Structure 1
Amino acid sequence: MDSTKGGVMVHNGSESSLVVDVKANQVHDPILVYLEEVVHKKSVQAFSQGGDGIFRYQVRFCVSNIDDLLEKIMTEAHSSWYSIHPRAIKMYRALREAY
């Protein structure tokens, strides 16, 4: 819908901006483009493309390193208030046992 005509677009659901970036950058990575072609020929089964259009290895996203996307994801994973690094839980349990 063209917003210059005063229309409103409603999207039911939410999606992380990082997921949107992963999806957008997958088409620019030559390795992922090649793998996608191979998957469509059914010669590799570990890779797949879900209904959301994101190319995956088993259940994990295939992330290209275009526009420093890997660095953005790692920064988000380690500095977000909503994420805890797995080793932090291990350290918490060790401290709880000691004190």
Structure 2
Amino acid sequence: MVHNCSESSFVGDVKSKQSLDLTLLKLKEVVLKKSVEAFSEERDGLLQYRDCLCVSNVDDLREHILSQAHSSRFSIYPGSTKMYRDLREVYWWNGIKKDIAEFCD
């Protein structure tokens, strides 16, 4: 249901889209100044929030993640609460809970 973080092509896609998202680029600047403890930049430049991938909204990446989680062969209509619990362990973006609720409605 949720992409495995070791899937280098997907993580690479997330990373490349982070570099196109102005909000995440500004956040990365703050992280580099060590102003925000919950966020970190990994050695490969990937921005994370409490060990979760920061997902940009470039090229409908968030929509793709929601669709994959919702249509996974491992889920029987997961509903918004279960989807949120599963996705928040791997991904982060501002408004993820609201986006999941709207997607499931």
Is TM more than 0.5 here? yes
**What runs of 5+ residues in structure 2 fail to find an aligned partner?**
1-5, 84-105
Equivalent residues in 2 for 1:2-41, closer than 5 Å: 15=7, 17-41=9-33
TM-score (normalizing by structure 2): 0.60
Q: Letter of the aligned partner of 2:55 in structure 1?
A: V
Instruction: Provide the rounded CA distance (Å) in 2 between the counterparts of 1:16 and 1:41.
Output: 27
- CA drift of 1:32 comes to 0.6
Larger Rg over CA atoms: 1
Cα contact 2:19–2:25 (8 A) shared by 1: yes
Ranked by relative contact order (alpha carbons within 8 Å, sequence separation 6 or more), the top structure is: 2
Q: Considering only aligned residues, what root-mean-square deviation do their CA atoms show, in Å? A: 1.9
Corresponding residue number in structure 1 for 2:102: none
Count of matched residue pairs: 73
Asked if 1:57 is matched to 2:49, the reply is yes
Cα contact 1:39–1:47 (8 A) shared by 2: yes
Corresponding residue number in structure 2 for 1:67: 59
Corresponding residue number in structure 2 for 1:46: 38
Aligned-residue sequence identity (percent) comes to 52
Instruction: Provide the rounded CA distance (Å) in 2 between the counterparts of 1:72 and 1:20.
Output: 15
- CA drift of 1:65 comes to 0.7
Instruction: Provide the rounded CA distance (Å) in 1 between the counterparts of 2:70 and 2:13.
Output: 18
Q: 1:78 to 1:17 in 2, by over 3 A?
A: farther
Cα contact 1:18–1:73 (8 A) shared by 2: no
Q: Letter of the aligned partner of 2:17 in structure 1?
A: N
**What runs of 5+ residues in structure 1 fail to find an aligned partner?**
1-13, 88-99
SS at 1:61 equivalent: strand
Name segments (4+ residues, structure 1) moved above 2 Å. Answer: 16-20, 83-87
